[in-house]
């Protein structure tokens, strides 16, 4: 889908998507890092469960919603990837657990 | 040097001027206003200044700037000037509300309150004045299949190029209308990722309509650049014109673009990525939620906030500069930002009337010069009717709530007069994007059904927060006795532990009605 | 006369009654304003709520219980006609009490209500409720916060989707041939030749009967037909969250999860009609109490905050009247257009069509507010 242009070399950052280990470049947003890693759909809609992928990349469309470190409905295109981040597909409506 | 803040707790209680948006207008306004001695806070939701046009500019490399062209590189100077200024700056900040200061805010010596969420803390920051420089968003382009993964906006692809040096790796089709389409095509060519086709939906008749404005355009700085771009792109990749309908098809992801031409012929273009663009429109969620009156711009077929000649909105103390006030482009946005900074300094009595008049006249002259030729672009790239109002009932209009054009049309037939009743009936515009990707479409569809202008139909009434804010942040904001009484019926306070009264009874409370 | 009945007001009360009249084969015109107007129907919380209603008016308690009991019938009829499900359910509702003092006050007021004479009447389910301590509340609502004192539960309470209800009435009215006339803000009403002429800017319409269901606008219109409908200002503010997976299957008096997954948090009462802007201190209190009630909500996103103005009489009970000087003119004003929708759609229209409100409704006459001249 997308490839990294060869003239850009920045530090690598490790994160996971649905449990799979992936790498991003420092400065990538979550949505950019997922596209660079060949991941397309980031969520399934709460209405029909249709798959959706990042659309606008500027925080407007809310299609790139993902679960980040357990917090649902985070805008992937506005959130920088950080080392060890755990990203998951947003499945429909948000799920919250009671605190222990 | 501008100072950066990462938590709302660290911000001052109030500023002379709070600016929302660190694009061309916001950066220029911040530098100008702080240069006149105003205390300025520039709040932006991205990770670095630049807005969308100069996205990633502060960290860009030589190679990036070469690939993206001189118009992008111009942002380097602007962001550097801002960095030199005394303005306070927040990145990753969400401004969710702008409103007159609440009657119960204690000791409020400022007229406006700006709701800001930053670093997990929501707070109201006081402001003497507010400048909204929230820029533009790409217009909705509701064709069947535009919700498929693998369909993105053209602007999105450009942002990926700017911030992460990512270029499409497979077969890419670009479709739509507007200057950005050709700019992106040329940038993708420069990145070694030429699209397999550019489908230009600009209606042929627009050329005729725009022709009277061509002489002015020909004199402008855009003309030579723009025309060269058009020819260069057409030379390098296939351009398809005279298009009457588009449909994206695929299973779980986009596979094929079906193009119908005005002569009735159809063509299927197989590709991996479809990039859509139908021009840009002001991002007006915040200005509208702040109460600023909107007006319909028939020439560009969009709503924009009403402004006077000094860029002041209908709401006292709130100005709007740049594309958020009406599409003018980056160069004009910078000048509008400077004007807004000057106006703020004048209104807050930091500069003399003479200085304001003199500087103001200079800036307006520069603005007029930069805007020369704009009318031609506006008319030429006014999106075709059939790409603003979906012809097919199965096209999704509201992406968030998955409301189709057919349902909007059927509901309009009940006698629905405007988008707010439509929203109540169908939930269109109630999802997380809060109408950003369906507002124009829904208003225009109702206008069509009623046989009136969108001016008579109006736009969604927007409410704070203009983007989602975690409830826990609201829960931690200051309360008042009156507010507690309004909700709970009475005020109940536990007497503090350890105090003399606290030791009397376990159920010792002060209760006020 | 163009229509049998003109209903002034396209909100929930107007369309409920209008639909009921249209079902009786009357030709009905609904007059409404444009897209942006004061509309309680669009700011609604969506409770079909019974437990706390009627303190000081046994008739109102019975009227509310009766409507709640007929709601399933209304929902089925509308769904049958339009395919739109108004999302009604009656799983019983909780009034969450955050502190011991709130619990005590709630207990006291419920006891007072239950002890009112004449609470039980034929055809109306008896008022039943339970007082629950924290442990029992937690057993029934597992996500309740640790500091919640308890709750009052009544099996009579339920909720519905007020926006789909409004849409369903509109769709059903259209199918039944009723005339919906937006952009018709009624400015004057004249009683002439046994009928009514309603007019506004550049238009006049005539009908044999008239129903004023214009919400806050009714206070101005009622005197034109010899009626008086006093209303008091009441502003409410609501927060709505993003869609969440279902976690709360019962409505509570202060928050509920809709069938779409969003959570509505309300309700505040401020005695003003001043501003439509939400007020930050009220937002803070609403949010803080919601999070205390259900801590998991702390992580949920608030999507929108809005205010609305209730249609409330000075004592909070409905005002239903037929004019004695202009027979055939009715004025209906009440809060709780959702709770009472079943009555307004299934019971009132028959009486309006027949030209007389029943004895049961006599205590709802606004004449109760007529103050004798100062002594």
How far apart are the C-alpha atoms of B437 and B398, rounded to whole Å? 7
Residues 6+ apart with CB under 8 A from C61: C50, C53, C54, C55, C113, C116, C119, C127
Give the count of Cβ contacts less than 8 A between chain A and B. Answer: 132
Cβ distance A3 to B169 less than 8 Å, yes or no, reads yes
**B507 contacts chain C (CB < 8 A):** yes
Region B282-300 average pLDDT: 96
Cβ distance B415 to C163 less than 8 Å, yes or no, reads no
What residues of A are in contact with residue B394 (Cβ under 8 Å)?
none
Binding partners of A (≥3 Cβ pairs within 8 A): B, C
Q: Please name which of A90, A85, A60 lies closest in space to residue A74, comparing C-alpha atoms.
A: A90
Region B157-186 average pLDDT: 95
Write the DSSP assignment of C240-300 as a string of letters.
EEPPB-----S-BSSEEE-TTS-EEE----BS--S--S--HHHHHHHHHHHHHH-GGGGGS
pLDDT at residue number C1: 64
Q: Do C292 and C27 touch, CB atoms closer than 8 A?
A: no
**C15 contacts chain A (CB < 8 A):** no
Query: What 3 state SS string does C344-371 have?
Result: HHHCHHHHHHHCCCCHHHHHHCHHHHCC
3-state helix, strand, coil in chain A (%, to 5): 10, 40, 50
Instruction: State yes or no: pLDDT of B498 exceeds 50.
Output: no
Which of C138, C240, C243 would you mutate first to test chain A, the one with the most A CBs within 10 A? Answer: C243
Distance from CA of B45 to the nearest CA of C (A): 17
Inter-CA distances, C150 with B332, B336, C104, C141, C359, Å: 61, 58, 10, 11, 39
Q: Which residue of B414, B434, B483 is in closest CB contact with C171?
A: B414
Q: Which residue of A has its CA nearest to B172?
A: A1
Residues 6+ apart with CB under 8 A from B89: B2, B3, B4, B5, B22, B30, B41, B42, B44, B49, B82
Interface of A with C (CB under 8 A): 46, 71-73, 92-99
3-state helix, strand, coil in chain C (%, to 5): 35, 25, 40
How far apart are the C-alpha atoms of C182 and C34, rounded to whole Å? 6
* Omega before C79 within 30 of 0, i.e. cis: no
Please write the tens of the pLDDT for every residue from C319-368.
999 999 999 999 999 999 999 999 999 999 999 999 999 998 999 999 99
Q: Do C101 and C258 touch, CB atoms closer than 8 A?
A: no
Q: Please name which of B99, B87, B117 lies closest in space to residue B26, comparing C-alpha atoms.
A: B87
**C295 contacts chain A (CB < 8 A):** yes
Distance from CA of B146 to the nearest CA of C (A): 23
Cβ distance B463 to C305 less than 8 Å, yes or no, reads yes
Q: Do B487 and C98 touch, CB atoms closer than 8 A?
A: no
Torsion angles phi and psi, residue A95, rounded to 5: -115, 130
DSSP character at residue C328: T
For C341, the token pair is: 């929708």
Region B338-351 average pLDDT: 98
Q: Give kind and range of the element (H or E) at residue B384.
A: none
How far apart are the C-alpha atoms of C92 and B440, rounded to whole Å? 41
Distance from CA of A21 to the nearest CA of B (A): 19
Within B293-427, residue ranges assigned H as helices are 330-347, 353-371, 374-380, 385-388, 405-412, 419-426
Distance from CA of B362 to the nearest CA of A (A): 34
Q: Which residue of C has its CA nearest to A97?
A: C296
Distance from CA of A6 to the nearest CA of C (A): 39
Q: Which residue of A46, A93, A96 is in closest CB contact with C299?
A: A96
Neighbouring CB atoms inside 10 A of B244's CB total 16
How far apart are the C-alpha atoms of C304 and C265, rounded to whole Å? 11
Residues 6+ apart with CB under 8 A from B333: B23, B24, B25, B28, B133, B135, B321, B322, B323
- C334, C340, C345, C347 alpha-carbon torsion, rounded to 10°: -100
Region B351-361 average pLDDT: 97
For B294, the token pair is: 């909107």
pLDDT at residue number A29: 96
pLDDT at residue number A100: 57
Residues 22-41, chain A, touching B (beta carbon < 8 A): 25, 27-29, 32-33, 35-36, 40-41
- B433, B435, B441, B444 alpha-carbon torsion, rounded to 10°: -170
Is C135 in a helix, a strand, or coil?
helix
* pTM of structure: 0.95
Q: Which residue of B164, B193, B437 is in closest CB contact with A61?
A: B437
Q: Do B419 and B455 touch, CB atoms closer than 8 A?
A: no
pLDDT at residue number C361: 93
Backbone CA torsion sign across B473, B474, B480, B486? negative
Inter-CA distances, A31 with B87, B439, B467, C89, Å: 30, 25, 18, 40
How far apart are the C-alpha atoms of C158 and B189, rounded to whole Å? 61
How far apart are the C-alpha atoms of B415 and B413, rounded to whole Å? 5
Is A50 in a helix, a strand, or coil?
coil
Cβ distance C287 to B471 less than 8 Å, yes or no, reads yes
Cβ distance C288 to B475 less than 8 Å, yes or no, reads yes
Region B223-250 average pLDDT: 92
What residues of C are in contact with residue A45 (Cβ under 8 Å)?
none
**C245 contacts chain A (CB < 8 A):** yes
Hey, which residues does B113 pair with through a beta bridge?
B99, B126
Cβ distance C244 to A94 less than 8 Å, yes or no, reads yes
For A95, the token pair is: 């799920």
Neighbour-count burial of C55, counting CB atoms closer than 10 A to its CB (0-12 exposed, 13-18 middle, 19+ buried): middle
**C259 contacts chain A (CB < 8 A):** no
Q: Which residue of A has its CA nearest to C298?
A: A96
Q: Which residue of A has its CA nearest to C294?
A: A98
Mean pLDDT of chain B: 93
Please write the tens of the pLDDT for every residue from C168-218.
999 999 999 999 999 999 999 999 989 999 999 999 999 999 999 999 999
Region B57-69 average pLDDT: 87
Region B273-288 average pLDDT: 97
For B481, the token pair is: 């006795």
pLDDT at residue number C275: 81
List chain A pLDDT tens, one digit each, 100 residues. Answer: 899 998 888 899 999 999 999 999 999 999 999 999 999 999 999 999 999 999 999 999 999 999 999 999 999 999 999 999 999 999 999 998 887 5
Neighbouring CB atoms inside 10 A of C179's CB total 18
A80-89, A90-99, B162-171, B293-302: range with lowest mean pLDDT: A90-99
3-state helix, strand, coil in chain B (%, to 5): 40, 25, 35
pLDDT at residue number C238: 96
Using pLDDT thresholds of 50, 70 and 90, give the confidence band for residue B107: confident
List chain C pLDDT tens, one digit each, 375 residues. Answer: 689 999 999 999 999 999 999 999 999 999 999 888 888 888 889 999 999 999 999 999 999 999 999 999 999 999 999 999 999 999 999 999 999 999 999 999 999 999 999 999 998 999 999 999 999 999 999 999 999 999 999 999 999 999 999 999 999 999 999 999 999 999 999 999 899 999 999 999 999 999 999 999 999 999 999 999 999 999 999 999 999 999 999 999 999 999 999 999 998 999 988 888 999 999 999 999 999 999 999 999 999 999 999 999 999 999 999 999 999 999 999 999 999 999 999 999 999 999 999 998 999 999 999 876 554
Cβ distance B488 to C283 less than 8 Å, yes or no, reads no
Q: Which residue of A has its CA nearest to C296?
A: A98
Torsion angles phi and psi, residue B274, rounded to 5: -115, 125
pLDDT at residue number B135: 97
Distance from CA of C59 to the nearest CA of B (A): 24
What residues of B are in contact with residue A60 (Cβ under 8 Å)?
137-138, 283, 433, 436-437
Q: Do C198 and C31 touch, CB atoms closer than 8 A?
A: yes
Residue position matching structure tokens 């919603």: A65
Q: Which residue of B427, B480, B492 is in closest CB contact with C101?
A: B492
How far apart are the C-alpha atoms of B188 and B273, rounded to whole Å? 13
Cβ distance C163 to B425 less than 8 Å, yes or no, reads yes
């Amino acid at each position: 889908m997308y490839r990294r242009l060869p003239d850009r070399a920045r530090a690598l950052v490790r994160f996971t998507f649905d449990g799979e280990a992936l790498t991003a470049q420092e400065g990538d947003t979550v949505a950019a890092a997922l596209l660079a890693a060949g991941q397309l759909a980031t969520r399934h809609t709460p209405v029909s469960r249709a798959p959706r992928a990042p659309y606008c990349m500027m925080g407007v469309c809310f299609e790139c919603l993902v679960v980040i470190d357990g917090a649902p409905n985070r805008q992937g295109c506005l959130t920088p990837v950080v080392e060890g981040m755990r990203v998951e597909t947003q499945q429909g409506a948000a799920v919250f657990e009671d605190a222990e | 040097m501008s100072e950066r803040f990462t938590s709302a707790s660290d911000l001052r209680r109030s500023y002379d001027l709070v600016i929302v948006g660190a694009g061309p207008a916001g950066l220029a306004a911040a530098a100008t206003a702080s240069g006149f001695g105003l205390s300025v806070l520039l709040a932006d939701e991205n990770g670095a200044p630049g807005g969308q046009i100069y996205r990633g500019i502060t960290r860009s490399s030589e190679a990036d700037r070469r690939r993206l062209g001189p118009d992008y590189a111009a942002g380097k100077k602007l962001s550097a000037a801002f960095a030199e200024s005394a303005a306070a700056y927040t990145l990753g900040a969400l401004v969710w509300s702008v409103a007159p200061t609440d009657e119960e805010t204690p000791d409020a010596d400022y007229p406006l309150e700006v709701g800001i969420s930053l670093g997990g803390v929501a707070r109201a920051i006081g402001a003497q004045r507010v400048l909204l420089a929230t820029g533009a968003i790409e217009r909705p382009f509701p064709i069947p299949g535009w919700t498929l993964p693998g369909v993105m906006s053209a602007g999105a692809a450009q942002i990926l190029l700017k911030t992460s040096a990512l270029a499409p790796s497979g077969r890419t089709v670009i479709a739509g209308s507007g200057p950005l389409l050709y700019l992106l095509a040329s940038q993708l060519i420069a990145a070694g990722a030429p699209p397999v086709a550019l489908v230009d939906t600009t209606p042929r008749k627009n050329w005729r309509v725009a022709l009277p404005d061509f002489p002015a355009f020909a004199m402008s700085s855009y003309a030579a650049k723009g025309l060269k771009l058009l020819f260069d792109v057409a030379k390098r990749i296939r351009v398809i014109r005279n298009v009457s309908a588009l449909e994206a098809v695929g299973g779980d992801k986009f596979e094929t673009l079906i193009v119908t031409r005005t002569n009735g012929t159809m063509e299927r273009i197989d590709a991996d990525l479809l990039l859509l663009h139908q021009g840009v429109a002001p991002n007006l969620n915040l200005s509208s939620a702040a109460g600023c009156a909107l007006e319909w711009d028939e020439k560009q077929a969009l709503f924009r906030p009403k402004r006077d000649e000094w860029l002041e909105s209908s709401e006292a103390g709130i100005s709007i500069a740049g594309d958020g006030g009406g599409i003018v482009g980056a160069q004009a946005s910078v000048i509008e930002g400077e004007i807004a900074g000057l106006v703020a300094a004048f209104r807050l009595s930091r500069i003399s009337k003479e200085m304001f008049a003199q500087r103001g006249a200079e800036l307006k002259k520069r603005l007029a010069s930069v805007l020369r030729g704009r009318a031609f672009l506006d008319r030429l790239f006014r999106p075709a009717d059939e790409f603003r109002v979906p012809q097919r009932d199965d096209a999704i209009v509201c992406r968030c709530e998955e409301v189709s054009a057919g349902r909007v049309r059927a509901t309009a037939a009940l006698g629905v007069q405007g988008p707010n009743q439509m929203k109540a009936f169908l939930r269109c515009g109630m999802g997380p994007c809060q109408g950003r990707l369906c507002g124009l479409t829904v208003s225009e569809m109702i206008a069509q059904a009623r046989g009136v202008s969108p001016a008579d139909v109006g736009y969604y009434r927007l409410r704070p927060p203009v983007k989602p804010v975690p409830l826990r942040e609201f829960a931690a904001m200051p309360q008042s006795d009156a507010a507690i009484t309004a909700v709970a019926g009475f005020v109940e306070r536990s007497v503090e532990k350890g105090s003399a009264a606290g030791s009397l009874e376990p159920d010792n409370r002060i209760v006020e009605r | 006369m163009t229509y049998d009945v003109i209903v002034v007001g396209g909100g929930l009360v107007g369309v409920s009654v209008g639909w009921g009249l249209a079902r009786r084969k009357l030709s009905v015109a609904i007059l409404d304003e444009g897209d942006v107007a004061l509309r309680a129907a669009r700011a609604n919380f969506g409770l079909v709520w019974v437990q706390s209603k009627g303190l000081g008016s046994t008739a109102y308690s019975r009227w509310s219980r009766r409507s709640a009991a007929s709601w399933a019938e209304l929902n089925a009829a509308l769904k049958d006609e339009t395919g739109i499900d108004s999302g009604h359910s009656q799983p019983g509702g909780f009034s969450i009490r955050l502190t011991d003092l709130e619990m005590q006050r709630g207990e006291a007021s419920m006891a007072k209500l239950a002890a009112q004479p004449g609470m039980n009447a034929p055809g109306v389910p008896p008022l039943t409720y339970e007082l629950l301590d924290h442990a029992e509340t937690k057993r029934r609502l597992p996500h309740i916060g640790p500091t919640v004192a308890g709750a009052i539960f009544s099996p009579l309470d339920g909720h519905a989707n007020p926006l789909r209800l409004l849409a369903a009435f509109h769709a059903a009215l259209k199918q039944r041939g009723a005339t919906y006339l937006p952009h018709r803000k009624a400015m004057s009403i004249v009683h002439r030749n046994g009928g009514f002429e309603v007019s506004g800017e550049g238009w006049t319409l005539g009908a044999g009967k008239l129903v004023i269901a214009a919400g806050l606008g009714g206070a101005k219109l009622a005197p034109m037909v010899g009626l008086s409908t006093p209303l008091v200002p009441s502003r409410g503010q609501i927060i709505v969250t993003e869609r969440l997976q279902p976690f709360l299957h019962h409505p509570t008096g202060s928050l509920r999860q809709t069938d779409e997954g969003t959570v509505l948090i309300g309700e505040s009462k401020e005695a003003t009609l001043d501003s439509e802007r939400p007020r930050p201190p009220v937002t803070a209190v609403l949010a803080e109490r919601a999070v205390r009630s259900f801590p998991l909500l702390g992580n949920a996103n608030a999507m929108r905050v809005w205010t609305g103005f209730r249609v409330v009489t000075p004592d909070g009970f409905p005002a239903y009247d037929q004019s004695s000087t202009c027979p055939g003119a009715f004025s209906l004003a009440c809060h709780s257009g959702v709770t009472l929708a079943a009555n307004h759609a299934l019971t009132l229209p028959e009486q309006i069509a027949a030209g007389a409100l029943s004895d049961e409704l006599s205590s709802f006459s606004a004449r109760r507010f007529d103050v004798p001249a100062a002594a």
